[in-house]
Amino acid sequence: MLATAIQAQAQDFDRLFNLRGYWKFSIGDRSEWASTNYDDSEWEEIYVPRRWEREGFHGYDGYAWYRTTFKGSQLEKGKVHYLSLGYIDDVDEVFINGTKIGFSGGFPPDYYTAWNAKRLYRIPNELLDYEGENLIAVRIFDQGGEGGIYSGDVGMHVIDEELKDVIMLEGMWKIRTRDREEYAKPDYDDADWEYIMVPSNWKSIGINDLRDFAWYRRTFEVPRGNKLTEMSIIGGYIDDFDEIYINGIKVGETNDGRDLGWSKSYSRLRIYEIPAGVLKEGKNTIAVRVEDLGANGGIYEGPVVIVPDNKVTRFTRGGYFWR
């Protein structure tokens, strides 16, 4: 499985446009480089995808940033857009118009490489400017050897799916490797929890062979006018056992009670009906209790989405709902 990028194959998407070519580039690390207001006119340009050593930065290990822009008129309003960045050596954070949308691996001091993970990040629609220019900024750390955005598909993709009443849940979640009942409560303060990308194997953030419990949490918005009844959550594939709570109410669980090597729970797509009265307009909280039997663990593959009951089949058939 992939490390931290969204679990799907780029060829399952409709590709809107290519982002291969020359990007702005600078070694070093400054937080303002993610900002749309920063002037990068004096930066070098290097070709993407290609290792930065082959673009004149021989022997450089450490931090560097890439920046490029694209026009909002190239996007499709009302659709879900994904940014593909191929493969990056070693660790990355990705920002759209100054807001972080995802990461892979771990930066120092908790370094964890993700050099062999395919990067595919969902872009929240509210971050996009459909009328003007949009900025992509990528922060990278290379521990040694060659570095940078070095190979693979680099471009913008779109899902051709009607999104009315659909709530996408893939992206950054909070995670903690403990087990307490209060973690399911919607008002629990998880501000000091670690971030993880969902879906991804939790080895992507250095959690190895846990053989114990971990909790995931995130908040999401239900827009005014969305359906609140006859909805289901598709919780992806989870290794090994799970309980899913929405606003403190358990909506489903999977646990076949078998031991490591015998259990098949990890291979079951979680689909749970959401009881009437659980979802509400405005802010909602989802919490997922995961028990790992050993080896891999976590919400490792999608889709992770809340959909009307009459769309569940479409969203789960071959390759889930990608075109």
For 219-244, how does the pLDDT look when each residue is reduced to its tens digit (9 = 90+)? Answer: 999 999 999 999 999 999 999 999 99
**Average pLDDT value for residue range 203-221:** 91
Tell me if 96 sits within 8 A of 136, measured CB to CB: yes
From 129, 159, 189, give the residue that closes a domain: 159
Is 321 inside a domain boundary?
no
CATH of the domain at 176: 2.60.120.260
Q: Domain check: are 137 and 120 in the same one?
A: yes
Reference 48, options 19, 70, 84, 5; nearest CA is: 19
| Residue range(s) defining the domain that contains residue 154 | 10-159
Q: Please classify residue 238 by burial: count the beta carbons closer than 10 Å to its beta carbon, then call 0-12 exposed, 13-18 middle and 19+ buried.
A: buried
Taking the model in full, what pTM does it have?
A: 0.82
Lowest-confidence range among 66-75, 134-143, 164-173?
164-173
* CA distances for 147 relative to 46, 58, 59, 154, 275, angstroms: 13, 10, 9, 16, 49
Count the neighbouring beta carbons within 10 Å of the beta carbon of residue 72: 13
Query: What H or E segment, with its residue span, contains residue 196?
Result: strand 194-198
Query: Quick one: pLDDT band at residue 183, thresholds 50, 70, 90?
Result: very high
User: Same domain, yes or no, for 263 and 311?
Assistant: yes
Model confidence at 186: pLDDT above 90: yes
Domains held by the chain: number: 2
Q: Does residue 244 belong to any structural domain of this protein? A: yes
Alpha-carbon span 242 to 233, nearest angstrom: 13
Checking 251-257 for CB contacts under 8 A at 24+ apart, the result is: 251/275, 251/278, 255/291
Look at residue 5 in the predicted model and tell me its pLDDT: 38
Say whether both 219 and 154 belong to one domain. no
Same domain, yes or no: 229 and 100: no
**Are 154 and 172 part of one and the same domain?**
no
| In the predicted structure, residue 6 carries a pLDDT above the cut 60 | no
Task: Answer yes or no: is 4 within a domain.
Answer: no
- Picking from 159, 190, 224, the residue at the C-terminal end of a domain is 159
- Contacts for 62 with CB less than 8 Å, ≥ 6 apart: 27, 29, 141, 142
Q: Are residues 151 and 264 in the same domain?
A: no
Residues 265, 16: Cα–Cα separation, whole Å: 36
Percent of the chain with pLDDT over 70: 93
Q: Are residues 128 and 182 in the same domain?
A: no
Identify whether residues 32 and 121 lie together within a single domain.
yes
Q: Are strands 194-198 and 241-246 parallel, antiparallel or unpaired?
A: unpaired
Q: Is 189 found in the same domain as 293?
A: yes
Query: Do 189 and 277 fall within a single domain?
Result: yes
Q: Does the structure show a pLDDT above 80 at 323?
A: no
80-89, strands of its sheet edge to edge: 14-18, 148-159, 80-89, 118-123
3-state secondary structure of 316: helix
Whether residue 2 is contained in a domain is answered as no
How does residue 203 score in pLDDT terms, banded at 50, 70 and 90? confident
- Write down the pLDDT at residue 159: 79
